[in-house]
Amino acid sequence: MFFYMQILDIDGLQNEDGSFSGDIWGKVDTRFSYIVICCLSILKCLDKINVKKAVDYIVSCKNLDGGFGCTPGAESHAGQIFCCVGALAITGNLHHVDKDLLGWWLCERQDYESGGLNGRSEKLPDVCYSLWVLSSLIMIDRVHWIEKAKLVKFILDCQDMDNGGISDRPNYAVDIFHTYFGVAGLSLLEYPGAKTIDPAYALPVHVTNRILFTK
C-alpha cells in the first residue's frame, strides 16, 4: 500500500495556496483537503504535503458565521464544515475555529418538530447531517447544545421497518449511505449497542487509537 502511495504524487495535487485539486483538471474544494489529510494521517505520512499551507487554505474558507465553505467566500454548509473541522482536528489546529460562533450555527440546524438536522438554514432535515453536523459539534465540544434524544428519534423514524435500512428522511427510499450515516449518528449519540466511532475519521475508536498511538 505504501509502495503504491508514492506513485500517487499527492503533493503534486497540492496547489500554491495550500488547497488540493481533485485531479489534473484542477477543481478545488475543501472536501479534497479533508480526504487528503484524513488518508495521509491514517497512513502516517502527513509529511508528504505542506500541512501549514493546507491549514491556511482551510482557514481562508472560514466564514463570518463561523462555518466553512468549499472555497474562500463560499456559503457555510454542514458537509464542508465537517471536512474543514475534521481536517483541522486531525492536524491539531482547532484553535482556528470560533467554537461558540460555529457551535451556535450548527445547533440551529436542529428542526424543532422532527428533531432532525439540516445542512443549511431553511433546508429540510436529513439523516446524513446526523453525521456531518453531529461530528462537527462533537469535535468542538458543543454537542450538548442540541437535543440528543430528539435526534435519536429522528434517525430511528427514518428506518424502513419492513425491509431494513435507513433513508434520508421518514418514509423515503433507503440507501446504503444514509444507513451508514444513521448508524454512525446513533453511535455518536451513544445509542446502546453501537460501537464507539471517532468523530473525525468516522472509524471505530479502537482502530484510530491503534493506528495513531503506535509510534
Partner 1 sequence: MHGRPRKASNPEEEAASAAKAVKLRSLQSQFMKNHHDKIYTEEAIELSMKLLEINPEAYTAWNYRKLAVEDSLSRIESDPNLVNSILDEELRVVESALRQNFKSYGAWHHRKWVLSKGHSSIENELKLLDKFQRLDSRNFHAWNYRRFVVELTNRSEQDELHYTDDMINNNFSNYSAWHNRSVLLSSLLAQNADGFMPNERIPDEYDLVHSAIFTDPDDQSGWFYHLWLLDQTLNVETPLLTSSWPSHGSTINLSGAGCLNGSSSKFTTFCSESGSFPLILYFDQAVGGVSSSTVTIDSELKGNEDLVWEPISYKNSQVSCVWVTHLKYVSSDPCEYKVKIRVGNSPGIVSSRGHNFRAPYEFVFTAHVHDTVKDSQEGIVSWTDGFDIWDAKSMDLNSLITLDQLQAEIDFKWRQEAIDSEVECFGILSDSKIGNLTLARLLMAREAMLSDDAVKGVRYEEILQLYNDLMALDSSHYQYYKDEHSVAFLHKVTSSSESLSRHLFRYRGMNNLVCLRLNNLSLSRIASVEKLLFVQMLDLSHNELRSTEGLEAMQLLSCLNLSHNKIRSFSALDSLRHVKQLKVLDVSDNHIGKHSVDTTRYLCSSPLSNSEWSQDDVGRQNPGLVTKYWDAYFVLRDLKLKQLDIAGNEISGNEFSSFVLQVVPKLVWLDGQKLGN
| Interface residue with partner 1, options 38, 174, 186, 202 (CB under 8 A) | 174
Nearest 10 degrees: Cα torsion 209, 51, 102, 151: -30
HSE-up (13 A, CA, CB side) for residue 185: 29
Stretch that binds partner 1, among 2-10, 12-20, 121-129 (CB under 8 A): 121-129
Which residues are CB-neighbours of 174 under 8 A, at least 6 positions away?
Answer: 160, 163, 164, 165, 166, 167
Q: Binding to partner 1 by residue 213, rule CB under 8 A?
A: yes
Nearest approach, Cβ of residue 4 and partner 1 (Å): 21
Residues 65-84 close enough to bind partner 1 by CB under 8 A: 65, 69-71, 73-77
Nearest approach, Cβ of residue 17 and partner 1 (Å): 14
Instruction: Using the structure block, give the residue that is written with the C-alpha cell 506513485.
Output: 7
Nearest approach, Cβ of residue 59 and partner 1 (Å): 10
CA gyration radius for the chain?
17
Q: Binding to partner 1 by residue 3, rule CB under 8 A?
A: no
Q: Binding to partner 1 by residue 160, rule CB under 8 A?
A: yes
Which is nearest to 76 in space by CA: 101, 111, 54?
A: 101
| Interface residue with partner 1, options 36, 49, 139, 183 (CB under 8 A) | 139
Nearest 5°: CA angle at 80, between 92 and 178? 110
Give CA–CA dist 58/124, Å, rounded: 27
Q: Binding to partner 1 by residue 108, rule CB under 8 A?
A: yes
Q: Supply the DSSP symbol for 28.
A: B
For partner 1, the binding residues (CB under 8 A) are 23, 25-27, 41, 46, 63-65, 69-71, 73-77, 89-95, 103-105, 107-108, 110, 112, 120-123, 126, 138-141, 143-147, 150, 160, 167-168, 171-175, 177-178, 188-190, 196, 198-200, 205, 208-210, 212-213, 215
